[in-house]
């Protein structure tokens, strides 16, 4: 297995971890296990009720932490690019921080600020790992052929990242406090417009490789699906845990996709300037 393949596998496991974390919150299972890092003083508590959500989340988190640590060490030993080594190392540091935040949410009985920080940091970790997968791929060296559309894609990518992250923070606030529902709904318009503008820039960049234009269509449809699911969750009062968790997961995928696009566009712009 190559480092790029391992990075992609780590991204996939992180997605599963975020889905598991979303189910913990959506099913109100956050305090089903009152101790940490063990669960009822053991590694294998009875998997009943909310314990099965919370303890499964912890087990997956331990695996992801091990994988991210392995990826960081591998990158530090094998990659000559200092910024890539720091990106992988930063992802591992963020995972360790995330573990501490997760423990504090249990030991301090779900304090809203820490729970919100825990939710938001998980999204950023996924984006960082997705970027590691991008820059370790064989296609990274070919990103420079984006043509004149790269600066516009980079600018709109950064705008979409900012808008989407604010939206994700507002969503985390709602899930952990029940407040600012209308702010989240109103800002969704800004986030959706920013994402669709980015998708349009990708679709209409003539020199962009075909696979990136395909990703633009995927991005646009994902935005539509996220908006529709958001409306359903809002109108039903988040009655279906799996749907609420899916809404969180799609938000994480959108942020990672936009982050990868912005990084690639920045690289293409830089390559065009020095060539």
Cα 20 to Cα 143: distance, rounded to the nearest angstrom: 34
Residue 169 pLDDT class (50, 70, 90 cuts): very high
Tell me what pLDDT residue 242 has. Answer: 81
Q: Render 54-89 in DSSP notation, one character per residue.
A: HHHHHHHHHHHHHHHHHHHHHHHHH---HHHHHHHH
3-state DSSP: the chain helix, strand, coil percent, rounded to 5? Answer: 80, 0, 20
State residue 45 phi and psi, 5-degree precision. Answer: -75, 170
Helices (H), 27-149: 51-78, 82-107, 112-135
Residue identified by tokens 């935040």 is 101
Cα 118 to Cα 8: distance, rounded to the nearest angstrom: 23
- Mean pLDDT along residues 221-240: 82
Q: What is the dihedral of CA 269, 15, 107, 242, to 10 degrees?
A: 130
Cα 274 to Cα 8: distance, rounded to the nearest angstrom: 30
Structure confidence by residue, pLDDT tens digits, 170-190: 999 988 888 888 898 899 999
Cα 118 to Cα 18: distance, rounded to the nearest angstrom: 11
> Global pTM?
0.91
Tell me what pLDDT residue 75 has. Answer: 97
User: How many Cα atoms within 13 Å fall on the side-chain side of residue 126?
Assistant: 26
Structure confidence by residue, pLDDT tens digits, 29-77: 878 888 888 888 888 888 888 889 899 999 999 999 999 999 999 999 9
Tell me what pLDDT residue 272 has. Answer: 66
Cα 145 to Cα 269: distance, rounded to the nearest angstrom: 9
Tell me what pLDDT residue 274 has. Answer: 65
Cα 138 to Cα 20: distance, rounded to the nearest angstrom: 31
Q: Calculate what percentage of the chain has a pLDDT beyond 90.
A: 49
Cα 12 to Cα 86: distance, rounded to the nearest angstrom: 21
- Mean pLDDT along residues 104-129: 91
Greater model confidence, 17 or 210: 17
State residue 206 phi and psi, 5-degree precision. Answer: -65, -30
Q: How do the domains of the chain map onto residue ranges?
A: 1-142, 143-275
- Mean pLDDT along residues 7-14: 97
Residue 239 pLDDT class (50, 70, 90 cuts): low
Residue 167 pLDDT class (50, 70, 90 cuts): very high
Do residues 202 and 213 lie in contact, with contact meaning Cβ atoms separated by under 8 Å? yes
User: Is pLDDT at 238 greater than 80 in this prediction?
Assistant: no
């Amino acid at each position: 297995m190559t480092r790029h393949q391992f990075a992609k596998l780590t991204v996939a496991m992180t997605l599963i971890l975020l889905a598991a974390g979303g189910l913990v919150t959506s099913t109100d299972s956050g305090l089903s296990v009152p101790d940490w890092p063990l669960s009822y003083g053991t590694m294998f508590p009875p998997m009943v009720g909310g314990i099965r959500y919370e303890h499964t989340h912890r087990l997956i988190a331990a695996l992801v932490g091990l994988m991210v640590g392995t990826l960081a060490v591998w990158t530090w030993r094998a990659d000559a690019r200092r910024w890539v080594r720091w990106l992988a190392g930063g992802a591992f540091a963020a995972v360790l921080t995330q573990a501490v935040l997760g423990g504090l949410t249990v030991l301090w009985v779900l304090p809203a600020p820490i729970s919100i920080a825990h939710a938001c940091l998980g999204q950023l970790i996924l984006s960082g790992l997705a970027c590691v997968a991008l820059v370790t791929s064989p296609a990274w060296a070919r990103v420079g052929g984006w043509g004149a559309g790269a600066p516009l894609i980079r600018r709109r990518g950064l705008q979409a990242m900012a808008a989407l992250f604010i939206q994700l923070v507002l969503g985390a606030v709602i899930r952990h406090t029940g407040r600012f529902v209308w702010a989240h709904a109103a800002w969704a318009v800004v986030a959706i417009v920013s994402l669709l503008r980015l998708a349009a820039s990708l679709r209409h960049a003539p020199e962009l490789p075909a696979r990136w234009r395909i990703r633009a269509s995927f991005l646009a449809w994902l935005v539509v699906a996220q908006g529709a699911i958001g409306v359903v969750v809002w109108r039903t009062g988040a009655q279906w845990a799996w749907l609420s968790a899916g809404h969180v997961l799609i938000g994480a995928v959108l942020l990672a996709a936009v982050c990868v696009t912005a990084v690639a566009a920045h690289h293409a712009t830089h390559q065009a300037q020095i060539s």
